[in-house]
Amino acid sequence: MTRETSADSRVILRLKRSPTVPLEAEVITPDVLGSLSNSEIRSLTVYHGKRRLPLGDFFDVEGEHSCDLELHGNMEKVRWVGRAMSQGSVTVHGSIGMHLGAYMSGGRIEVHGNASDWVGAEMKNGFIHIRGDAGGQVGAAYRGSLAGMRNGIIIIDGSAGLEVGMRMRRGTIILGGPARDFAGLQMKGGTIVLLAGAEIRTGAWMNRGTIISLKPLTLMPTFAFAAEFTPAVIPLIARHVAKFGVQLPSAASEGHYRMFSGDLAVPGKGEIFVWQPVA
């Protein structure tokens, strides 16, 4: 890590003008901004629709030479923030647009607000925490790609949209709120924890991987009921997610998990655990 240690050494970007069409701002990452001076940061190119404009047209920039970025404003049209970042941190106060942290390989992103679709899409590693809701395709593979997120952790406190963890290969996604349809679509590995359940077709086409739900799920007929027990891996996952303040029950006195395997239409070796508290 090459990040600065001093607490007040940060680059602060404040949105001063709302983009009228999506603003493609893949330059807003610690890897690009970290070594630049204030004026260099302001003159970076962003794409407002098809127009190339300097970053300074949309943001007031405070600070320089830091891998810790802070963003303020209503930025739901600002896309690709933290794209392919490998270090440092991005803290967002407000909402943020699509592709946040896509392809990232390290560092932390924290959003105090809502995020849009494709959070952490195809990420290789790193940590993303959304305090509000997220859109669809969290940690997913882009269209046509063989694999989505390869490692790392994504925590969404609120709800998420369609195709959460689509084709993910490794890593962990934790959802505090409900997910919509197709959570874990064509999943190849990794873990999805659904604290508030999901809508329909959870785990469709999954090859491998684990989905844990604390709420009952409507499963597809291609998932076969396998066993009623709490496998040894659950306490391990519980210990892992406890670091992020997430409580996963595993004590026999509280209940047990119903395990389903599938998707038999593939046929896959995925597993879905649904928590069954003692009555």
Partner 1 sequence: MLRIINGKVYDPANGVDGEVKDVCIDDHGRIVESIEGGRTIDAGGMIVFPGGVDVHTHVAGGAINFARAMTPEDHRRTQAFIRTKTRRSGLGGMAPTTFATGYLYAGMGWTTVNEAAVPVLSARHTHEELSDIPIVDKSTLTLIANNEILLDQLEAGAFERAKDVLAWYIWAAKSYGVKAVNPGGVAAWKWGSDAKQLTSPIEGYARLTPGVIITQLARICEQLGLPHPLHLHCNNLGAPGNISTTLDTLKHLEGSRAHIAHSQYHAYGGSGWDSIRSETTQLADYFNTHANITTDAGAVLFGDTVTITADGPWQHLLYKLTGRKWGNLDVENETGCGIVPYTYRPSNLVNAVQWASGLELLLLIRSPWQVFLSTDHPNGGCFWRYPEIIKLLMRADFRQECLKRLPDKIKKHITLPEIDREYSLYEIATAMSAGPARALGLTQKGSLGIGCDADIVIYEEDDDVQRMFGHPRYVIKQGEIVIEDGDIRETPEGREFLFKPSYSPDTEEFIRPLFEDCYTMSFENYPVELSRIERADVIEGVTP
Query: Interface residues with partner 1 (CB under 8 A)?
Result: 142-146
Minimum gap (Å) between residue 144 Cβ and partner 1: 4
Compare residues 182 and 205 and give the one whose CB is closer to partner 1. 205
Cα gap 119→269, rounded to integer Å: 26
Pair type for strands 68-72 and 89-93: parallel
Minimum gap (Å) between residue 143 Cβ and partner 1: 5
Compare residues 93 and 142 and give the one whose CB is closer to partner 1. 142
Per-residue tokens: 183:
């959570």
Cβ atoms of 196 and 213 within 8 Å: the answer is no
Compare residues 146 and 232 and give the one whose CB is closer to partner 1. 146
Compare residues 226 and 266 and give the one whose CB is closer to partner 1. 266
Compare residues 132 and 142 and give the one whose CB is closer to partner 1. 142
Minimum gap (Å) between residue 127 Cβ and partner 1: 25
Compare residues 74 and 145 and give the one whose CB is closer to partner 1. 145
**Nearest alpha-carbon partner for 179 in 210, 146, 203, 145:** 203
Minimum gap (Å) between residue 48 Cβ and partner 1: 19
Compare residues 204 and 274 and give the one whose CB is closer to partner 1. 204
The Cα-based distances of 201 to 39, 62, 184, 189, 261 in angstroms read 50, 46, 9, 17, 14
Cα gap 119→129, rounded to integer Å: 10
Minimum gap (Å) between residue 198 Cβ and partner 1: 26
Minimum gap (Å) between residue 265 Cβ and partner 1: 13
Minimum gap (Å) between residue 84 Cβ and partner 1: 12
